[in-house]
Structures are given as structure tokens and as C-alpha cells.
Amino acid sequence: MKYSNTISALGLSVVVAACSQETTSTPVVQTPTALPATQAAPGNPLFSASNLPHGLPPFDLITSEHFVPAIERGMAINTDEIDAIANNVERPTFDNTIAALERAGEDLGRVLRVYYNLAGAHTNDTLQAVQREMAPRLAAHSDSISLNPKLFARMDRLYQQRAELGLDPESLRALERYHRDFVRSGAMLAEPQQERLREINAELARLSTLFSQHVLAEVNDSAVLVDTIAELEGLSAAEVQAAATAATGKGHDGKYLITLLNTSDQPPLSALSNRALRERIHSTSLARGSRGNEFDTTGILSDTLKLRAERARMLGYDTHADFALENQTASTAAAVNEMLSGIAPVAVANARAEGEAIQALINATEAEPFELAAWDWAFYAEKVRRERYAFDEAEVRPYFEMNSVLVNGVYFAAEQIYGLAFTPRPDLPTYHPDVQVWEVTDADGSSLGLVLTDFYARSSKRGGAWMNSYNVQAGLTGGSKVIALHLNVPKPPEGEPTLLTFAEVTTAFHEFGHVLHGLFSDVQYPRFAGTSVPRDFVEFPSQVNEMWASWPEVLENYARHHETGERIPQELLDRVLAAEQFNQGFGTTEYLAASIVDMALHQLSVEQIPAAADLLAFEAQVLRDNGLDYEPVPPRYRVPYFSHIMGGYAAGYYSYIWSEVLDADTVQWFKDNGGMLRKNGQHFRDTLLSRGGSRDAMALFQDFAGREPNSEHMLRRRGLLVN
């Protein structure tokens, strides 16, 4: 997932990752309290560009105290830059207005990329305090640019004359996008409305920060404490040891702590034989954010939805969904609703069929059969899979050692298809001891950029998997590429290997697809760099990269037993691949449930937004109305911990399956054209990956494929369409 906040101060385009404390030797986490805004740290390393390779931030020199003064300095510089553009007495030209806006904000953008990325990957009390303080101020700074009447007047004059300017296609697109963004930001509103818009934006920034911090705190606070080892029957010895270590770390010597991930479903449920404990874990997971405690997010979400709806109406849209989707390839809420509603009945029917198979197993094997519940699904689905395909995850995981997956799988595929090479750089600083830095060399021998890999879960790191950029390149501004890849794999006890599930392997390939999108960027303007594409297009290239996880020659190279070095047996591999469509009814249904709830919430008017106490009832009603009220399969995220809709995926969680239509079609293109060939990779890179947002997204797909996409490939892949 490329999960991001975009600070687009129109003249400042910064794409960064969006959320306890862990003591390490890294200075970033050593400060217990926030630095007052007026206290500037001497020798602040964030005051100037890094002189490390490719502009890698000097993590060994950065402390949490550095951020407030660096952000304030960056905003002041950016304000002067914008004033110079807006007050320029010369007639507006593309170079002194649009290109100048693209050059502006470099100092602030550099600082914000480090700030936001660390706030998500390795936060602490200080960074969280900085987030709470600076989010409204940054929103106000952005508004001061987008609502600057002189600046808009210059831009509007250029926009009205655009046909006469003789601009190249990318420059024309930049002008049109800036004008559109200003209008969508309220540039044409009357002053009283603009003032209200400023208030809304500041409050939304504050609420978003609170939500992300509450979700992180709640997932840590909701860890399930287990008294005896007997209750953990089914977990591996390493998993039991990890639970014991986690409990000891929280002052519960002799007990065991099951930590939670941000999804509704929790990984231990597939292995734990103790049904009462499974129920406790599942119930705790679903209750997060709605328990009425200090981390309850329902009020934050209700207020956010009301403010979004009010802002959309003020800007001339019926709902926030209409506002959000205008910039996406889907274009309208109606198009998204039609797509989701068309898939939902097929997905639920498949989920119910899977549930019937699980119920039959329960009836046949349990001395006292019971009705299938949500906390039983993963445990018995694993049994069904073992019965059907004669393997379980414990049998497969020894062949998926994490470093081999990365080097001999993810990197090997990139070497074969794109000609890249990866060299570890242990001499360069990181923000945490678990992070590795790699230098990427292009096929011509030139250094393409740096990749940071950060794979282990920790209490200072938000949930999920994502990529982000610490540095971006564009022809206008120069620069280079520093990109990070994040997973949340539980760290095994000291000395134990890190063994992945096949799902985690696929996630690693997915996120590296985002990395490639960033590394290959070759555009003129920063606003179009890398993954700066419509939200419902950004997941497409990353989902394409998942195909190499199961590509025979790639699998053969990385799927080796961590002790013996033997390749995974072909018959076991065949069973793993045959099982890829297993449980797709469940997976598609839980995803669609979250997507449809997201769309429903954002198609409400201000007056229709549920109060905090009514949000879960609204969620339940939406599921019933759409035939998704199948209790054994809850939404992948319930609204109180649905972080996507507080970030860049509001009215946009549908994007994954929308992108998968393009992805499945592209995979078929590769197969039809000879598979893993350098010429195929180069074609994909040249026509699509390198172009970023510099051209219409669907036009880029057609440049690559030479035709319109076909959705049947996606449905067939998921087993939802019979030949």
C-alpha cells in the first residue's frame, strides 16, 4: 500500500507516508518532551540539504527537537517565495508563475518528508506532539498559498490563454492541474467562505493527526494478555517466545501478550486451537476505537465526515465523494458504486460457499459442533486448505526466509526484468537498527538512488505496509531518489530466522512495485514525480509487481529452505500456487465491505452524517443494504480503526480492486508477450512507470497495452468467474 498524506501547498508538493515509544541508540527517539516552537536547535541538520549520497537524511544527527524550528523556517522561506511570485510586476508567464511554484518550497518539502516519514515509521511522544502542533499550522500555510488572490489571478490569466502559450504537453498539464487545484481549494470563493474553509482545513488536519495517534495507541493498548502457555496451543515455539517477550516488556513476567495488527482479522487466529482465546482476540480487535476510552475515535470520525461534507458543499459538490472522485480515473461515485455492487453478490456467494465447507468440517470433526463464527474462520479455513491442498503455512514458511525473499526474490526479479543491481550500504545512517540501506544501480551502471528496507513491526510504527519517498527527482529541480519500503513482520527471538507467510512475501513484492514507480520516475515537474498519480491508479503498478512472487524462475531462486538451502519441492510449490484462489470469497468480501462503507459515509450530506454513537449502527445498515451482512466475515476495517479513510483514501478504498482490473490485464499482457523479458520490462518502464502523473492515467495504460483494459482477467484470477 502506498498510504500517504499529500501536503500540496501549491508551490510545495510533498508526498510522504502518513502514524509506544521504543528506546534505541537512534537520536530521533531520545527526547521525551516537545521542543517549544521558539527554541531553535543550534546546528540544525534539517536547515540545509544533506550531502550524503542521493540526499539521504542524516538520521544520526537528527533529533526530535530539530523539527519545529526547521518546519517554521521552511514555511517562512516558502512564504517569501510565494510572495515574490504573487507580487511580481512582470506579466505572468509559465516560467515566472507555474515553474516558479514548482521550484518553491524545496526547503520545507525536504523537512516535511523526513518529519512525516519518521512520524509513521518510528514515532515517539515528541514527534506526536510536533504532529499535533504543526498539522493545523501547515494546513493554514497551505491555505495561505491556495487562497492567495494575486497568485490565482496570475495563474488564471495563464490558464485562460493556455491555447496560445505553445506549451509542451507536460507543461500544459502542469498549468491545468495547478488551476484546477486552486479552484478546488477555494480560490473562487468569497472571502467569508474562504475564511470558513481555512477553519475547516485546520480542524481536519488536527482531527486526522488525533485519529492516527489514537489508532496506534489503541492497537498497543488492546494487546491481549494470556495467563498460561497451554492457551497458546497451535502457535510455534518462536511465536510463543515472542508473546512471552512482549509480556515481559510490559511488566507481565511469566505471561504472554498477543499484540494486534490494524486489520479486523488477526494472524494468530489461524493457529490457536483455544476457541475462547480466539473469540477474545477477535472481539478485542473489533472493539478498537469504540470502547468509550481515551482512544475512542468515533467522535473524531463523525466530526471529520461533517467537515468534509460541509467543505464539499461549499465548493459546489453534492458530497465529499463527488469532490474526491473528480480527480480519479473513476471520475464519479456512480461509476464506483456500479463496480462495487456488481462484484459484491458474486463475492458474498463465494464466501458463503466457503463458510459452508468450513461448517461441514466443524460438524464432522468437533465432538460438540457449533455454528461458525468470525473468530473460527481462519482456524478452520486453514484446516480446509490443508485438507484440500495438503499443506499448511508451517510447512511452507521455512522456504520463505525474509532476507532470501528480498535479495533472491524481490531484487532478483527487478534485476531480470529491469536490469537493476542492489548493493547494501551499511556505512550510511538509518533511523532504527532494523533498517537497511541499499544503493540501486541502473542497467547502464549509473546510480539510480537508495532504497531503505524497514520490515519489522514495533510499537513506534504504524500498522500496515507502505512505501514513501525521502527525496524526489524532477528535471526542473534536480535531486535524486531515496525511497523506503515498510512491512510489519513480527520480529522473532534473537537468533531465530524470520520466516514469512506467502501472503507476506506477496506484500513485499507489492510494496516494491511502488518503490519501482518512484525509482523510475523521469518527469520534468516535481508534482508529477513517481507515485503522484490518481489514487485509483497508484496501486496498479505495485499490484503488477506481485506477479513475480509466484513466477517460476523467481520462486525457484528465493524459495529455499533456510536450514538446508534446498529449493521448495515442486509438488509443494504446485499446491501453494493452486491454493492462491482459496478463500478468495472471504478476502474479496471483507475488502468490499470496507470499501462500500467508505463510499456510503462519503456520499452523505452534512445533515445525514451519523453522530459518534450511531456510526457502528450506520456501518451495519450499509452492510445489510448491500447483502454483506454475513457475520463470519466482518469488514477488513471497521470504521473506528479505518485509517485509510482518514488519509488519502477517503472515498477511495475502492482503489485497490479498481487498480486490480488494470493489474490483471497487465499480467496477461506480460504472459502473452513472453513473460520475464528485459524488453517487456523496458516497455513497461518507458511507457508507464517513468511517466508518473505527467499524462492522463488511462492514456498511460493504453500507451503501454495498446488497448482498453478487460475486467474479466481480474474476476477469473480471484476465482469469481468461471470460464
The catalytic site residues sit at 511
Say which residue the cell 481536519 belongs to.
Answer: 204
CB 58 within 8 A of CB 50: yes
* Three-point CA angle 268, 269, 275, nearest 5°: 125
| CA distances (Å), origin 255, targets 250, 288, 608, 652 | 10, 22, 47, 41
Grouping H, G, I as helix, E, B as strand and the rest as coil, residue 487 is strand
Q: Give how far the C-alpha of residue 526 lies from the chain's centroid of Cα atoms, to the nearest Å.
A: 20
End-to-end CA distance of the chain: 31
Which stretch of DSSP H or E encloses residue 454? strand 447-456
Instruction: Compute how many other C-beta atoms are within 10 angstroms of the C-beta atom of residue 395.
Output: 14
Integer angstrom CA distances of residue 549 from 61, 457, 502 = 37, 22, 9
Give the three-state DSSP class for 636. coil
The DSSP line for 249-297 is: HTT-TTSEEE---SSSS-GGGGT---HHHHHHHHHHHHHTT-SSSTT--
Amino acid at 665: D
Cell of 292: 468509550
Nearest to 236 by CA among 419, 106, 388, 397: 397
Q: How far apart are CA 248 and CA 62, in angstroms?
A: 31
Which of 331-336's residues contact partners 24+ apart within 8 Å by CB, and which partners? 333/599, 333/603, 333/651, 336/599, 336/654, 336/658
- Which parts of 637-696 fold into alpha helices (H)? 655-672, 678-687
Which of 81, 213, 71, 218 is CA-nearest to residue 151?
81
CA distance 530 to 524: 11
652 contacts: CB under 8 Å, gap ≥ 6: 324, 325, 328, 535, 536, 598, 644, 645
Assess contact for 295 and 663: CB atoms under 8 A: no
Alpha-carbon gap, residue 527 to 534, rounded angstroms: 12
Listed in sequence order, the residues at least 6 apart from 715 whose beta carbon sits closer than 8 Å to its beta carbon are: 343, 346, 721
d(CA 539, CA 533): 10
DSSP 8-state assignment for residue 560 = B
